[in-house]
Structure 1
Amino acid sequence: MPSKKRRLLVSVHFLLVSASLGVLLVIGGLAATIGARGVNDALRAASEEQFATLGLMMQEKARRLIDPVQSQLGILIYDPLTEARDIITRLSRLPILHAVLRDNTTIRSVYIGYPNGEFMLVRKIDQDALRERFRAPNGTSFLVQSLTLNVDGDFIGAFRYYDFDLTLLDSRLAPDYHFDPRTRTWYAASSKTTRPVTSEPYAFFTTGDVGITISQRAANAGAILGLDATVASLAKEIGDMRITDNTKVAVVQQNGTLIAYSDFDKTLGYTADGRIRRNNLSSINVPILRDIETEHGLETEVSSEVMNSDGEDWIFAIRTLDVDASETVRIVFAVPTDELFAATRSIIRSQVGIIVIVLLIFLPVGLYIIRQIARPLSQLSEDVKELASFEFGNPVFVKTRIKEAVELAGTVDSLRVTIRRFLDINRAIAAEEDFDTLLVKLLDEIIATTKTEAGILYLVSDREDALRPYASRLSTGRNIDYKIPSVPLTEKNCLLVRSAHDEHAEGAPANDLELERMGLAGIQETMQETPHNLLAAPLFNRAKELVGVILLMESETVDPALIKFTEALSGSAAVTVEARRLIAAQKELFESFIQLIAGAIDAKSPYTGGHCARVPELTKMLAQAAEKATDGPMRDFHLTRDDWEAIHVASWLHDCGKVTTPEFVVDKATKLETIYDRIHEIRMRVEVMKREAEIRRLRNALAIAGVAIDEAALAQELATMDADFAFLAETNVGGEFMSDEHLARIEELARKTWTRTLDDRIGISHEERERKDRTPASILPVQEPLLADRDEHKFDRPESERIDDDNIWGFRMEVPDLLYDRGEIHNLTVRRGTLTDEDRYKINEHIVQTIKMLDKLPFPKHLRNVPELAGGHHEKMDGTGYPKRLAKQDMSPVARMMAIADIFEALTAVDRPYKKGKTLSEALKIMTFMVKDQHVDADLFDIFLTSGIYLDYAKKYMQPQQIDDVDPQQFRPVTPV
C-alpha cells in the first residue's frame, strides 16, 4: 500500500520569525543602498554648492584686499601732493602717505611720478632684508626715495629715513639712484585713463612678496600715483577654505602662474640667474593641480568634475575671480573623493550594523513575545500569589491583548497600589520625627494615593476657633505658591466647616463662591491644572474631637469611591497627627524644663548669668566644625539627629548640679567673704566706741595733770597698724600667687592681740552658739588674737556627703574632712585665688551633683549618654581631672568639646567677681598651655582655632576691648607623642 506523502509543516513561531527577518533584511538592504546613493548625490551637490560659495568668499576676500587700496588711491589723487613743485612741499604731505601705509597692512609702498620725470616713493621698512638693502639706521620705519631736478636740469636722487612717528633719522644723497617713472608700465597705462589701473600679480623685487600695483592719474595734474599691495594674505585665507584635510586650493592666472597657495613657499621660485619668479601649477609638485592644468586647462570654468590623479579620484572645480586685473584670474579647488564620501561609507557601515543588531534583538524578542501570548493568565496568577504574601513591590501587569486579562490585571494592580500606599504612609510617618515635615509627607502621600491635583492640610488652632493651614502641596511635590488664610469654625457655609460638622468627607464643585468662602479665590492660577472639584475630609481623634481637615483638589469629577477612600485615609491621618502632636508637646515641655533649670542656675548667681546659655552654643559650633573636618583624627566624626539632641540637652544641663552649690561659695570674691551675722560687726563697733570713750577720759586726765602725750610715737604706731591692715586687705583680694614671705607676715600679724569686753555668744543663732560652745567661754575682758583659726570656724562634713571608693558612679575625688573651714588664717593663707580646699571641693562637687541628678532621670535610649556628656567637661586628657579622672580615650568627643567650650567661656566671661575677662590672645595662650599639659584635647583645640570658632564667638559674646588681633597659627598645638 503506497504511503501517504507527508506535507512539510512549519510552526507559527518559525513562520513569524522567518517573515520578520526576511522583511528586515530586504528593507535594510534597500535602505542602505538608497541611502548611500542619496548621500553621495547630496554630497556631490553640496560640494558644487560649496565650491561656488568658496569662490564667492574668495572673490569677496580679494575685493576686500583691492577695494581699500583703490579707495586710498581715489583720495590721494585729489591731494595737493599731485601739484607740488618741489621736494619740500612734497615732504609736507608725508603724514598723509604715512597714514595710508600705517592703516593698511597690505600696502607696501606709495609713490607718485610727475610729467617732468620727478619721482617720490614712500616705502615701509619692516623687514630686516629691507633694512639691510637700504642700509637703514636703527629705528627706521619708513623710507622716502626721491628724484628731483636741479637748476641745471640734472636729476638728484635722495634717501630720507624716518622712524614710526616720522622723525627724520638720516638723509642721504643717492647719486646711483636712476629711475624714470614715465617709462614704467603703470605710468603709461594710467596716463591714458582716469580710472584705476590694476597690474597683473608679480613678485616684488625688493621683498619677494607677490602683489599687484594699482595706479591712477591725478585729478588736477598730469602726475600719476601708484600703490604696491601684497596678496600674501590670500594664502592664509586659502588655508581656511579647505573642505577636507587634503583639499587643494590655488589662485592662478589663466596661464597657470600662481598668485596664492596655502603653502606660500611654493608660490615663488628662482630663475637660473637668481631672480625671483612666480611658479605655475605644473611646477609645485602637487599632482592633482598639475593634471588639472595639463589635462583640462584653465581657460574655462568647471562647476564640478571627477579626475583621477596618481591612482586617486578627485572632484575639482575652476571658478573665476573678478579682481579688475588685466588677465583672467582663476581659483582652483580639488577634493579627494575618499575624504568627501567618507561619511557615506560610515553611514553604510552603520546601517549594516544596525540591521545586524536589529536582527539579533528581534530574534529573542520575537520568541519572547510569542511565548508570552500563551501566558497572561499564568503570570497574573503568580502576581496575585505575591499580593497574598504581602509583597507589593512588583506591579501587576500582563503583556497581552486579551481585554479581560488586561482589565483584571489593572484592577489587581490598583488594589496593590492602594495597600502599598497605606503601608508607605504608615512607614513614612513612623520614620519622620519633625512634626512639620511629617505633615508635608502625610499630605504628599494622601495626594499621591488619591491621585488628586493638590491638597491643603488644616489643623485646629490652639484656641480651637479656626482651621489653620499647616501644609499645602501640589501633586508635583512642590508647595502651593499662595498665601492660604485660616478659616473660622463659625463659617458654617464653608465646605471645610460643613464636613467637620457632618463628620464625614464631602465634595463640592470648585466654583468661585466655594473657593472664596475658604479664602482661596485665585488659587487656580498657581496650579498646573484648574481644579473642578473639591473634597474635604475631617480628621477626628480617638475621643471624636476635631483635629483638622484635609482639602483635596481634583480636576475631574469626584468619584463616590474616592470619598470613601479619603475618609479611610483621614482616620489614620488623624490618629497620626494627634500622636505626633502629643510627642511634640512633650518635647516642648521637656525643653522648657531644661531652659527653666538652666535659667535658674544663671539667675541664682548674677556673676555667672548666661554661662549655661553660652556653653551650649560654643559646644555646638565646635561639633559642627569637627563634622566638617576632612582630614585628621576627626575626619570620620559624624553626628546623627539623636546625637545633636543629646548634645543640646547635655550642654544646657552641664551645670545643673550648681543648684546645690551655695552662693557664698560660688560668688566668693575675697578670701574672708562668707555668710556673716552682722551682729559681730556691731559688737566690734561698740568695742571701738568703748575704747574711744576710755581714750578721751585718759587724754583729759593727762591734760589736767600736765603730762604730754608722745604724739610722734603714737603716729608711728598707728601708721604701722594702717600698713598691716592694708597688707591684710590686699591679701584678702586673692592674687595669682602668695609668697612664703607674705604667709609668714600673716602668721606674725595673727599673734597681735586686742581686748574684747563684750560677750560674743549672745545675739547669735543656735547653730553658731553650738559651734562656739565647743570651747569654754573666756572671762571678760579677754585678749583676743587679731587673726585666728578657731574650732567654731570648722563645719563637719555629713557622712551622706562623703564618697566611697566603690561608689556606683565611678567618682574618684579627694573629699576634704571638713565641709567648710572659715578659719581666718586658713583662708588668708590660700596661695592662689580666694578658695580653700573645702571651697574648691564644694564648687567642684557641682559636677558630682550634675551626674547624680541626670542619672535619676528616665532618659529615652537616644539620650542615655546625656549624663556622660554633661558630666565630663571637667575631666582632663591625662586622667587628672574630676570627678572620675577619665583619660582622653575614656571620653567621648562631645564631652571633650564641652570641656573646651566651658573653659573658653569661663576665661573670657566678664561677669565673674573674682577675675576680669581675658582677651582673646590671653585666653588662647592659657588654653595652649592646657593643651601642652594634656588638660584639653589637642585635636579639637586645633579645630577650634583653624575653623575660626573663637572669633565668631567673640564677636557675638565678648566685649570689643577683649577682641585683640590673634594669629591662630601661633597657638596651634603639637599633639604629644
Structure 2
Amino acid sequence: MTQSSNGIFRVPVHVFLIAVGLIMLAVVGGSIATLGYNAMNQALRAALEDQFDSLTILMRERGRRLVDPIGAQLGVLIHDPLSSATSLEGRLARLPVLAETLRMNGTVVSVYAGYPNGDFILVRKIETDEDVSRFNAPEGTRFLVQTITEQENGKRNGAFRFYNHALHLIRHDPRDDYTYDPRQRPWYRESQFTNVQKLSEPYVFFTTQEIGITVSRRSADRGAILGLDATIVRLASEIASIRPSSGSEVAILDSEGRMIAYEDLSKVISLHGDGRVGRLHVSDLGVPVLARIAEKERLLGPARSGTIEVDGADWAYSNGPLDIGLSEPARILLAVPVHEMFAASRQIIQVQGAFVVLVLILGIPVGWLLVRRISRPLKVLAQDVRALAAFEFDEPIQVDTRIREVAELSVTIDNLRYTIQRFLEINRAIAGEEDFDTLLRRLLDEIIATTDTEAGILYLTDAEGARLVPHASRTDDGHDLDFPIPDVLLSRRNNVIVRSIADENAESAAASQSELELCGLAGLPEKMAEPPQFLLAAPLYNRQKELVGVLLLIESHAMDPALVRFTEALSGSAAVSVEARQLIAAQRELFESFIQMIAGAIDAKSPYTGGHCARVPELTKMLAAAADRSDDGPFARFKLSEDDWQAIHVAAWLHDCGKVTTPEFVVDKATKLETIYDRIHEIRMRIEVMKREAEIGFLRHLLAEGGDPADDAELRRQQSELDADFAFLAECNLGGEFMSPERVERIEALSRKTWTRTLSDRLGVSHAERARMDAVPERSLPAEEPLLSDRPEHMFARPEADKLSPDNHWGFKMDVPELLYNRGEVHNLKISRGTLTDEDRYKINEHIVQTIKMLDRLPFPKHLRNVPELAGGHHEKMDGTGYPKRLTKNDMSPVARMMAIADIFEALTAVDRPYKKGKTLSEALKIMTFMVKDQHVDPDLFDLFLTSGIYMDYALKFLRPDQIDAVDPQDYRVSAPAAE
C-alpha cells in the first residue's frame, strides 16, 4: 500500500479486484436471501394462523371426546335400579353394571352413589401398584367397593370389599374409621335439587387424594345422587400432543384466567395446607408468555392472534374460545416462538449463504491464496497482541514474514511484551512478599533482570534523611554482594549517587576506581565476574516528592541511553512500592504499640492482674502452635496461615481490654463493705458512739437516781455486747465463711439497733448522692439511726446504656442486675460467699462485654474480622453455661477455646496477685481436670495441653521453681464426652 502526494491511498489491482468481487457477491447474495426470507416469513405467518384455528378445533373435539362419554354413561346410570336399592345387598347386586361402566371408559376412575340417609357406595378401579399399596389390596384385586350403610341402631358402618376381574369377592374389611358423608360433598349438594348434570371444578378426591373432576346427576327416581370421577391426565396429554413445536406453549383457562388444563398438571392445581384445592391463575403458572398474553388480551369474545415480546423473545400467539363441554366458558391460549416458526426460512438463508461462499471460494482461488499469504503474518501478530491484552506474556512473539514492516512491528511488540512482563513480575514480587527485607531483595532482583544489568544496590534514607543506608545488594545470578557497603552521606556531592539526587534524574558515570572509592565500592570489582564499566544511579521519590532512596545499577558493558530512560521510569514504580511497604510496616508497628500500651495499662491498673495480659498470649500461641503441628487426632486439619497468627496475636493481647472500664474499687473489693474505702470503719465509729451513749446513759442515771459509780455491771455488759457485735460484723465483712441463716438473722437483728445522729447527713455530700438521698424526706434532729441500713443513697440506678435487650445484636445472654451498684450495708454483709454482690460480680464479668463492644467498633481488616470472637470467648464454657453469650463448644472456634484454657491456667498459676498465692503445677492441673469433667473447658485441647508438654514449657518460662512440682500428665487426662 502506497500513498500519493495528495494523500490518497492506492492499492494493487489484484487487491482491488478481490475486494470489489467480494463486495458484489455479498450484496447480490444478501439481497436474494433477504427477499426470500421476508416472503417465506409472510407465508409462514399466514400458515401459522390457519394452524392455530385447526389446533383449536382439534382440541375442542378431543376435549369433547373426554367429557361427553362421561355424561352419556351417567345418563344411563340414573335409570339403573341402583338408585332405588335400600339395602347393601341390593346395591352390591348392581356391581356388574358399575364395573362395566369403569371398563368402558379409561378416564373414569370411580363410580358412586350417595343416598339421602347418608349411605354411600363407590366402585373404584385398582390398576396400578400404587393403587394396591394405597388401599392395602390383596393380590389379584381389580375392583374396590367402598360402602357406608346406616344400621337400625343409627350407627354407620363402613367397609372395603376387594373383587377380582371376575367380580369374585377376595376380602371384606370392615372400616369403622371410614366416616365419609356424601351429603356434605359439593357434587351431592349441587345435584340434589336439579335434574341437570353438574360438572365440578378440578378438586382432590377424598379417598385417593388424586386430582380430577366429578360429573354428578340426580337419579330419575330421585332416590340417589350418582357421580363419576374422572382424572384430567388425558386432557393434559392431549395438550402436549397438539403443540406446534417443542418450544410452544398451550393452556386452557377460564374467562378469569384460572387454569383448566396444562401439559404439566402439577402447575394447574394449588394444594393448600388445610387440604383445600384451587386452580392457579395463569399469572402464577410460571410461564411468562402465557401470563403476558392473558394480561394483554381480554379472555372473552372471538378468537384473536398477533405477536408479543416477552423477555427479549418474540412470540406468535392465538387467543380463542374453546367449548369442550365444561360447566364454565373456556379459552385456549397458544404461543409459538418466532425463532422456531421461522427456522425453515433461516435454514434456507443458510443454504443460500453457503452457496454464495462457495461461489466466492471457487471464483477467486488465486486472489484468495495471495491475500491469505500476505495476511497470515498479520493474523499471527494480531493473535500475539490479543494474548498480550489477556496478560499472557510467557511466549515470545516471532513472525515468519518477508514483509519488512511486519517484521519490524513484530520485534517492537516482542520488546514491549518483555518489558511489561518484567513490570508485572516486579509487581507480583512486591505484592506477594510480607517481609520487608526480603521484599527489597526480590525487588532488586527483578529490576536487575528487567534492565539486564550485572548487579545493583538499593539504598534507603535513614530516619533523619541525612544519609543513604544500603538495604539490599544483589548480582544478576541472585546472590548478595559479599562485601561491606558503607552508608552514603548526602552532604557530600562528590559521587554519582549524590549527583543524581541533586539533579533529580538518573545519572550515569564510568566505573573508574576513583568513582568506586567515592561511592564506597572499592571492593566491587573483586566480587563480579566481569569488571564494572558504568554506574547508573536513579533517585527514588515518593508521591510527596520526598527522597526515599537511590537505586544503583552496575553495568559491565556500554551504557545504552535507553537504559537510563527506562531506569528512570522503573525507579518511580519502585519508589511507590517501597513507600507503600514502609507505610504498612509503620502502621503495623503503631498498631502493635497500641496493643501493647492497652495491655500494659490494664495490667498496671490493678495489682490483681499483674502480667496477665502479657502471659495469656504466650500460652495461647503455644497451644495454637501445637494444634498446628498435629498430623492426626482432632486437630489434624487445623492449620494456621500468617493472617491467622496475626489474628491470634491481636485477640490474645486484647482479650481483656474491656477491663479498662471496670472500676478498681470493684475489682479490688477485698471485704464486703469496701467501696473506695472500707466502710467497716463507719460501723466501728457507730458502735463507738453507741458505747459512749450507753456510758452517758449510765452516768445520767447516777445523777438522777443516785448510786455507786462502781456499780457499772450493766454498762460493761452493754459495752461488751457491742464489742462482740462489732467483732462479729468485722468477721462477716471479711467474707471468708459461708453465711448461715443464724448469721443472717443476727445481722438483721443488729440492723435494728440504733444510735443518735445530731448532725445533718446531707451536708458536704456530692450532688449525685444528695439526689439519691432526697428520695426520702430529711428527718429532724436529733434522729435515731440504725446501726446497719440499706439506704436510698446506697442504690445506684443502672443507666439505660448499660442494659442489654434480649435481642441485642452482639448476642449477649447475661442476667443483668436491676441496679448498677447496691451498697446497702445489710445487703452486702449478708453476701453468702465471698465479698461481691450480684451487681459487683456482673460489673467484673462485664469486662468481657466491653471487650467485645470495643473490638466490634474497630474497623479491622478482613483477616482480623474474627478478633472480637476470639478475644470475647475465653469465659464461655463448653456446656453453654459461660458468659457473655452462653456459647457451646460447637459455637466457638478452636482458637477461642484455646484462649479459655490459657486464661484459666495463667490465673491459677499467677504469683503476682496479692489476694492469692499461685498454684503449683499439680494443683492447677487437678483443678482444670475437674473443669474438663464439668464441661467447662475443651477436653481435646486440654489433652493436647498435657500431651504436648505445653504446661511444662510455660512453667519453665513463667512459674517460680517452687511451683514446678513433679506431675505425670497421664494422671490428668480425661476422655472427651461422647457426642450427643
The TM-score by the shorter chain falls in which range? 0.5 to 0.7
CA contact (8 A) 1:702 1:708 kept: no
The answer as to 2:732 corresponding to 1:731 is: yes
Give a deviation string over 1:145-189, Cα, whole Å, max 9, x none.
xxxxxxxxxxxxxxxxxxxxxxxxxxxxxxxxxxxxxxxxxxxxx
Which residue pairs with 1:509 in the alignment?
A: 510
Q: Which amino acid aligns with 1:848?
A: V
- CA distance in 1 between counterparts of 2:404 and 2:557 reads 25
Which residue pairs with 1:59 in the alignment?
A: none
Query: Does the C-alpha gap of structure 1 residues 524 and 721 become closer, same or farther in structure 2, counting only changes over 3 Å?
Result: farther
Q: Which amino acid aligns with 1:831?
A: S
Give a deviation string over 1:426-477, Cα, whole Å, max 9, x none.
1221233333332222111111222323221111222111112222223232
How far has the Cα of 1:926 moved from its partner?
1.7
Counterpart of 1:516 in 2: which secondary structure?
helix
Q: Which amino acid aligns with 1:891?
A: M
Query: Does the C-alpha gap of structure 1 residues 830 and 914 become closer, same or farther in structure 2, counting only changes over 3 Å?
Result: farther
How far has the Cα of 1:775 moved from its partner?
3.3
Which residue pairs with 2:387 in the alignment?
A: 389
How far has the Cα of 1:814 moved from its partner?
0.9
Query: Does the C-alpha gap of structure 1 residues 717 and 969 become closer, same or farther in structure 2, counting only changes over 3 Å?
Result: farther
- CA distance in 2 between counterparts of 1:964 and 1:695 reads 63
- CA distance in 2 between counterparts of 1:480 and 1:741 reads 86
CA contact (8 A) 1:534 1:553 kept: yes
How far has the Cα of 1:873 moved from its partner?
1.6
How far has the Cα of 1:662 moved from its partner?
1.5
Query: Does the C-alpha gap of structure 1 residues 719 and 474 become closer, same or farther in structure 2, counting only changes over 3 Å?
Result: farther
**Percent identical across equivalent pairs?**
67
The answer as to 2:953 corresponding to 1:955 is: no
Query: Does the C-alpha gap of structure 1 residues 963 and 797 become closer, same or farther in structure 2, counting only changes over 3 Å?
Result: same
- CA distance in 2 between counterparts of 1:603 and 1:629 reads 37
How far has the Cα of 1:528 moved from its partner?
5.0
Q: Which amino acid aligns with 2:710?
A: A
Which residue pairs with 1:650 in the alignment?
A: 651
How many residue pairs match? The answer is 602
Which residue pairs with 1:902 in the alignment?
A: 903
CA contact (8 A) 1:646 1:862 kept: yes
- CA distance in 2 between counterparts of 1:906 and 1:526 reads 58
Pairwise mapping of residues 512-527 of structure 1 onto structure 2 (< 5 A)?
512-527=513-528
Give a deviation string over 1:104-163, Cα, whole Å, max 9, x none.
xxxxxxxxxxxxxxxxxxxxxxxxxxxxxxxxxxxxxxxxxxxxxxxxxxxxxxxxxxxx
Q: Greater shift after overlay, 663-672 or 505-514?
A: 505-514
How far has the Cα of 1:674 moved from its partner?
0.4
CA contact (8 A) 1:386 1:392 kept: no
RMSD: 3.8
- CA distance in 2 between counterparts of 1:585 and 1:783 reads 67
Query: Does the C-alpha gap of structure 1 residues 710 and 965 become closer, same or farther in structure 2, counting only changes over 3 Å?
Result: farther
CA contact (8 A) 1:380 1:397 kept: no
How far has the Cα of 1:916 moved from its partner?
2.9
Pairwise mapping of residues 529-928 of structure 1 onto structure 2 (< 5 A)?
529-676=530-677, 684=686, 687=689, 694=696, 706-709=708-711, 721-735=722-736, 737-928=738-929
How far has the Cα of 1:557 moved from its partner?
3.1
Which residue pairs with 2:183 in the alignment?
A: none
CA contact (8 A) 1:683 1:758 kept: no
Pairwise mapping of residues 66-145 of structure 1 onto structure 2 (< 5 A)?
none
Give a deviation string over 1:733-756, Cα, whole Å, max 9, x none.
333754455444544544444444
Query: Does the C-alpha gap of structure 1 residues 684 and 747 become closer, same or farther in structure 2, counting only changes over 3 Å?
Result: closer
The answer as to 2:493 corresponding to 1:495 is: no
Q: Which amino acid aligns with 1:533?
A: F
- CA distance in 2 between counterparts of 1:973 and 1:673 reads 41
Which residue pairs with 2:481 in the alignment?
A: 480
How far has the Cα of 1:811 moved from its partner?
1.4
- CA distance in 2 between counterparts of 1:699 and 1:901 reads 68
CA contact (8 A) 2:691 2:722 kept: no
Query: Does the C-alpha gap of structure 1 residues 920 and 715 become closer, same or farther in structure 2, counting only changes over 3 Å?
Result: farther
How far has the Cα of 1:581 moved from its partner?
2.2
- CA distance in 2 between counterparts of 1:906 and 1:449 reads 57
- CA distance in 2 between counterparts of 1:702 and 1:515 reads 116
Counterpart of 2:635 in 1: which secondary structure?
coil
Query: Does the C-alpha gap of structure 1 residues 437 and 742 become closer, same or farther in structure 2, counting only changes over 3 Å?
Result: farther
The structure whose Rg is larger is 1
- CA distance in 2 between counterparts of 1:965 and 1:738 reads 38
Counterpart of 1:729 in 2: which secondary structure?
helix
- CA distance in 1 between counterparts of 2:673 and 2:880 reads 33
- CA distance in 2 between counterparts of 1:681 and 1:530 reads 94
Q: Which amino acid aligns with 1:829?
A: K
Counterpart of 1:589 in 2: which secondary structure?
helix
- CA distance in 2 between counterparts of 1:572 and 1:580 reads 13
- CA distance in 2 between counterparts of 1:533 and 1:911 reads 65
- CA distance in 2 between counterparts of 1:973 and 1:746 reads 45
Q: Which runs of 5+ in 1 are unaligned?
A: 1-374
CA contact (8 A) 1:380 1:409 kept: no
Which residue pairs with 2:938 in the alignment?
A: 937
How far has the Cα of 1:717 moved from its partner?
6.2
Which residue pairs with 1:280 in the alignment?
A: none
- CA distance in 2 between counterparts of 1:677 and 1:746 reads 18
Q: Which amino acid aligns with 1:861?
A: K
How far has the Cα of 1:964 moved from its partner?
2.4
How far has the Cα of 1:639 moved from its partner?
1.5
Counterpart of 2:633 in 1: which secondary structure?
coil
Query: Does the C-alpha gap of structure 1 residues 781 and 865 become closer, same or farther in structure 2, counting only changes over 3 Å?
Result: same
CA contact (8 A) 1:854 1:867 kept: yes
Query: Does the C-alpha gap of structure 1 residues 725 and 908 become closer, same or farther in structure 2, counting only changes over 3 Å?
Result: farther
- CA distance in 1 between counterparts of 2:911 and 2:702 reads 54
- CA distance in 1 between counterparts of 2:678 and 2:840 reads 19
Which residue pairs with 1:306 in the alignment?
A: none
How far has the Cα of 1:685 moved from its partner?
9.6
- CA distance in 2 between counterparts of 1:887 and 1:870 reads 16
- CA distance in 2 between counterparts of 1:752 and 1:686 reads 13
How far has the Cα of 1:502 moved from its partner?
1.4
How far has the Cα of 1:538 moved from its partner?
1.1
CA contact (8 A) 1:875 1:881 kept: yes
How far has the Cα of 1:918 moved from its partner?
2.2
Which residue pairs with 1:241 in the alignment?
A: none
CA contact (8 A) 1:510 1:532 kept: yes
Q: Greater shift after overlay, 635-644 or 383-392?
A: 383-392
Question: What TM-score do you get using the length of structure 1 for normalisation?
Answer: 0.56
Counterpart of 2:550 in 1: which secondary structure?
strand
CA contact (8 A) 1:384 1:412 kept: no
- CA distance in 2 between counterparts of 1:771 and 1:663 reads 23
How far has the Cα of 1:422 moved from its partner?
1.0
- CA distance in 2 between counterparts of 1:962 and 1:744 reads 43
Question: What TM-score do you get using the length of structure 2 for normalisation?
Answer: 0.56
Query: Does the C-alpha gap of structure 1 residues 697 and 475 become closer, same or farther in structure 2, counting only changes over 3 Å?
Result: farther
- CA distance in 2 between counterparts of 1:737 and 1:940 reads 35
- CA distance in 2 between counterparts of 1:958 and 1:717 reads 53
- CA distance in 2 between counterparts of 1:427 and 1:541 reads 20
Q: Which amino acid aligns with 1:568?
A: A
- CA distance in 2 between counterparts of 1:684 and 1:725 reads 10
Give a deviation string over 1:690-735, Cα, whole Å, max 9, x none.
6598499679979996542456x77676565545444433332333
How far has the Cα of 1:791 moved from its partner?
3.1
Query: Does the C-alpha gap of structure 1 residues 730 and 681 become closer, same or farther in structure 2, counting only changes over 3 Å?
Result: closer
Counterpart of 1:633 in 2: which secondary structure?
helix
Counterpart of 1:636 in 2: which secondary structure?
coil
